[in-house]
Amino acid sequence: MKKINEYKKNISANRVLVIICLSAILGLAGCQQEGTAEKAGQKIDRAAEKAEQKIEQATEKAETKIEAAKESLDKKAEKAGEYIDESTDTSKGTLEKAGKKLDQATEKAGEKIEGAKESVIDKAETAGEFIDDSVITVTVKAALLNDPLLKASHIEVTTVNGVVKLSGTVDSEQSIGRAMEVASSQKNVKSVQTDLIVKAASPGK
Predicted local distance difference test score (pLDDT) of residue 14:
60
In a domain, 59, yes or no: yes
Q: Is 123 left (phi over 0), alpha (psi -120 to 50) or beta?
A: alpha
Domain-ending residue, one of 97, 118, 133: 97
125-129 average pLDDT score: 54
Percent of the chain surpassing pLDDT 90: 25
* Alpha carbons 76 and 113: distance in angstroms, whole number: 55
Instruction: Based on the fold, state whether residues 6 and 91 are members of the same structural domain.
Output: yes
Q: What's the structural domain count of the chain?
A: 2
Question: Average pLDDT, stretch 129-138?
Answer: 83
One domain, residues 153 and 90:
no
Same domain, 91 and 151: no
Q: Residue 122 above 70 pLDDT?
A: no
DSSP state for residue 147 in the 8-state scheme? -
Residue 180: which domain range? 147-198
* CA separation, residue 137 to residues 35, 149, 165, 176, 179 (Å): 151, 19, 9, 17, 13
On average, the pLDDT of the chain sits at 75
Report if residue 36 sits inside a domain. Answer: yes
pLDDT for 69 equals 75
- Lowest mean pLDDT segment, chosen from 26-40, 50-64, 124-138: 26-40
89 belongs to a structural domain = yes
Residue 7: pLDDT above 60?
no
Identity of the residue numbered 174: Q
Using an 8 Å Cβ cutoff, are 47 and 25 in contact?
Answer: yes
Please report whether residue 112 resides in a domain.
no
What is the per-residue pLDDT across 39-66, written as a single tens digit (0 to 9) for each?
Answer: 767 777 787 777 778 777 877 877 787 7
Whether 124 is covered by a domain: the verdict is no
Here the CATH number for the domain that contains residue 170 is 3.30.1340.30
Pairing between β-strand 191-198 and β-strand 154-160 as defined by DSSP bridges: unpaired
Q: Which of 32, 65, 97 is the last residue of a domain?
A: 97
Closest CA to 137 of 112, 109, 124, 156: 156
pTM exceeding the 0.75 threshold for the entire prediction: no
Last residue of a domain, one of 82, 97, 112: 97
In a domain, 137, yes or no: no
Kindly state whether residues 90 and 151 are assigned to the same domain.
no
**Residues 81 and 8 both lie in one domain:** yes
Q: Which of 46-60, 91-105, 115-129, 180-194 has the lowest mean pLDDT?
A: 115-129
pLDDT the model gives residue 103: 81
CA 86 to chain centre: 21
Q: Is residue 107 part of a domain?
A: no
- Better-predicted residue by pLDDT, 13 or 146: 146
Are 92 and 13 contained in the same domain?
A: yes
Cα–chain-centroid distance for residue 106?
Answer: 10
What percent of the chain has a predicted confidence (pLDDT) above 70? 63
pLDDT at 129 over 60: no
Residue 69 located in a structural domain? yes
Residues 155 and 86 placed together within one structural domain of the fold: no
DSSP string computed for 12-47: HHHHHHHHHHHHHHHHHHHHS-THHHHHHHHHHHHH
